[in-house]
Amino acid sequence: MASESDLHDHHTGVRSAYKHVVRRNPYEPEFQQAVLEVLDNLSPALTRHPEYDDQRILQRLCEPERQVMFRVPWRDDNGNVHVNRGFRVQFNSALGPYKGGLRFHPSVNLGVIKFLGFEQIFKNALTGMSIGGAKGGSDFDPKGRSDNEIERFCQSFMTELHQHLGEHTDVPAGDIGVGAREIGYMFGQYRRLANRWEAGVMTGKGLDWGGSRVRTEATGYGTVLFTQRMLERNGKDLDGRRVVVSGAGNVALYSIERAQQLGANVVACSDSNGYVVDDKGLDLDLLKQVKEVERAGIDVYAERRGQSAHYVRGAGVWEVPCDVALPSATQNELDAKAARTLIDNGVIAVAEGANMPTTPEATSLLRRAGVLFGPGKAANAGGVATSVLEMRQNARRTSWSFDHAEQELAETMAGIHDRCEEAAERYGCPGDYVLGANVAGFERVGNAMLAQGLV
């Protein structure tokens, strides 16, 4: 668990804000970690701008504006009743309506949703768009559940949540365990309860009913575009590089797709049971068939692929040698041991497709070893940014072509990259994307909070 001694920063405002967070949010290690990682970079900004401390911007940022927790009862196919817990943490709306995904996974608890909502504030600020930060979800485990069970769960979840949503209030989307199918069931239930065809209330919708082209691909594509721009700044590119991706879900699959389009050789990916190495490079069509269509494990991929691939049960995808690593599964999946292995194997860049996948110790090892490091707030912001493109199309009752949406995504990722780069330079740490992302995100939301008074 993170502690005050991990804080490298000596600004008194930072220290007292972090102490306050630890005292008021015990037993929430992920939330404390996410706060620590941001605050650790803010001393220079607070020293230059004492008004942030005068107005207690840090304390206000670390306290969610509103948190909703609710019972989600549902009945399985055998008639048995289950009770899950639902969450929506509406963290900060200084920049726009609350925006952020919903996660369905047994590991979900209040602290996990708070860490994700906190990250989302700065990520959304970095996009330059008008969106606040939020996150929600449930400890429901969708694995092995039938379509009917998923539908009943989603309807029960939305029956409670709908009163807190609205296109100008709070706009959820997907995350782990929540994809197009779940968004469909939840949107349907919202529409029925609200008696409104309010397209902009959720993003990640189907293309026939208000969804945006490229939203499915956006997080993965964006992560790779960010990585490519980091490499270009250092006179390198992705062409011919060996890439390893963790996860085999939405973010992972479309990171693999974009990396392959840019000439990389993606040799390994993983899921929650193990990883697969494919010396010929991953066959993406087969991988999508197994993971998206059949919802099976990647061991099935290895079985069908033949000799070039082999499956290794258990964690450890980072032991596969690579030039570029894209952690795209879940929080704290890349620890110090994995970071040392990656460094020993000559990794040149790591970009976080997932939220907080790299532990603080691993992050600092990679940065000290001179590895280019793209933090999740910046690198994976293409998903939420394309959600905003979806909201724009909904508001104008129009829909864009794939090429147009992809071009907008590319421009947005370039803007995010350059905002991080500029902030890092302004604070005397060129090339430090972690500091750049935290400071640039903080300044934008902090300034909006200053301008809007004590709310």
Q: Which of 185, 221, 219 is nearest to 202 (CA)?
A: 185
Q: Do 53 and 46 form a contact (C-beta atoms < 8 A)? A: yes
- Helices (H) then strands (E): counts for the chain: 18, 12
Q: Residue 131 or residue 449: which is nearer to ligand NDP going by CB?
A: 131
Buried b (16+ CB within 10 A) or exposed e, 330-340: bbbbbbbebbe
Interacting residue with ligand 2IT among 11, 99, 419, 444 (CB under 6 A)? 99
Which residue's entry shows tokens 């970079």? Answer: 41
Q: Which does 413 bind (CB under 5 to 8 A by kind): ligand NDP, ligand 2IT, none?
A: none
Partner from ligand NDP, ligand 2IT, none contacting 405, C-beta within 5 to 8 A by type: none
> Contact at 8 Å (CB) between 70 and 155?
no
Does the protein bind ligand 2IT through residue 211 (CB under 6 A)? no
- Smallest gap, in angstroms, from Cβ of residue 383 to ligand 2IT? 4
Q: Which of residues 155-174 bind ligand 2IT (CB under 6 A)?
A: 173
Please say which residue, 3 or 273, places its beta carbon nearer to ligand NDP.
Answer: 273
Q: Which does 100 bind (CB under 5 to 8 A by kind): ligand 2IT, ligand NDP, none?
A: ligand 2IT
Under the binding rule (CB under 6 A), the answer on residue 105 touching ligand 2IT is: no
Q: Which does 250 bind (CB under 5 to 8 A by kind): ligand NDP, ligand 2IT, none?
A: ligand NDP
d(CA 401, CA 291): 26
Of 9-17, 284-292, 379-387, 411-419, the segment contacting ligand 2IT by CB under 6 A is 379-387
Give the nearest residue (CB) to ligand 2IT. Answer: 101
Contacts of 293 (CB under 8 A, 6+ apart): none
Q: Which pair of tokens denotes residue 416? A: 């995010």
In whole angstroms, what is the distance from residue 133 CA to residue 250 CA? 21
- The two tokens of residue 324 are 């570029």
Residue where the block lists tokens 């500091």: 435
What's the burial of 374, exposed, middle or buried (CB within 10 Å: 0-12/13-18/19+)?
buried
Binding residues for ligand NDP, per CB under 6 A? Answer: 101, 107, 174-177, 219, 247-252, 271-273, 328-330, 353-355, 380, 383
- Residues across the chain: 455
CB of 113 to ligand NDP, least distance (A): 11
**With CB cut-offs between 5 and 8 Å by kind, which of ligand NDP, ligand 2IT, none does residue 247 bind?**
ligand NDP
CB of 387 to ligand 2IT, least distance (A): 3
Catalytic residue among 114, 135, 291, 377: 135
Sheet holding 133-138, edge to edge: 66-75, 81-92, 133-138, 98-104, 170-173
Chain position carrying tokens 């504006």 = 65
**357 contacts 376 by C-beta, under 8 angstroms:** yes
* Residue 96 CB, nearest approach to ligand 2IT (Å): 12
Q: Is 330 in the site for ligand 2IT (CB under 6 A)?
A: no
Contact between 204 and 234 under an 8 Å Cβ cutoff? The reply is no
Among 203, 228, 246, 412, binds ligand 2IT (CB under 6 A): 203
In terms of CB distance, is 43 or 330 closer to ligand 2IT? Answer: 330
Q: How far is the CB of 327 from ligand NDP (least distance, A)?
A: 9
Angle between helices 250-261 and 215-233 (to 10 degrees): 50
Q: Is 42 in the site for ligand 2IT (CB under 6 A)?
A: no
Q: Per rule CB under 6 A, is residue 441 in the interface with ligand 2IT?
A: no
Produce one character per residue of 286-319: b if its CB has 16 or more CB atoms within 10 Å, e if not.
Answer: ebbebbeeeeebbbbbbeebeeebebbeebebbb
Return the structure tokens found at 431.
Answer: 């090339």
Does position 383 interact with ligand 2IT (CB under 6 A)? The reply is yes
Q: How far apart are the first and last CA of the chain?
A: 31
Q: How far is the CB of 346 from ligand NDP (least distance, A)?
A: 25
203 interacts with, out of ligand 2IT, ligand NDP, none, CB within 5 to 8 A per kind: ligand 2IT
Residue 387 contacts ligand 2IT per CB under 6 A: yes
Site for ligand 2IT in 354-373 (CB under 6 A): 355
Rounded-to-integer distance, Cα 91 and Cα 25, Å: 15
CB of 370 to ligand NDP, least distance (A): 26
Note if 236 is an active site residue.
no
Interaction partner, residue 177 (ligand 2IT, ligand NDP, none; CB < 5-8 Å by kind)? ligand NDP
Beta strands 349-351; 324-326: pairing state:
parallel
Q: Nearest approach, Cβ of 437 to ligand NDP (angstroms)? A: 14
- Catalytic positions: 135
Q: Which spans of this chain sit near ligand 2IT (rule: CB under 6 A)?
A: 99-101, 123, 173, 175, 203, 355, 383-384, 387
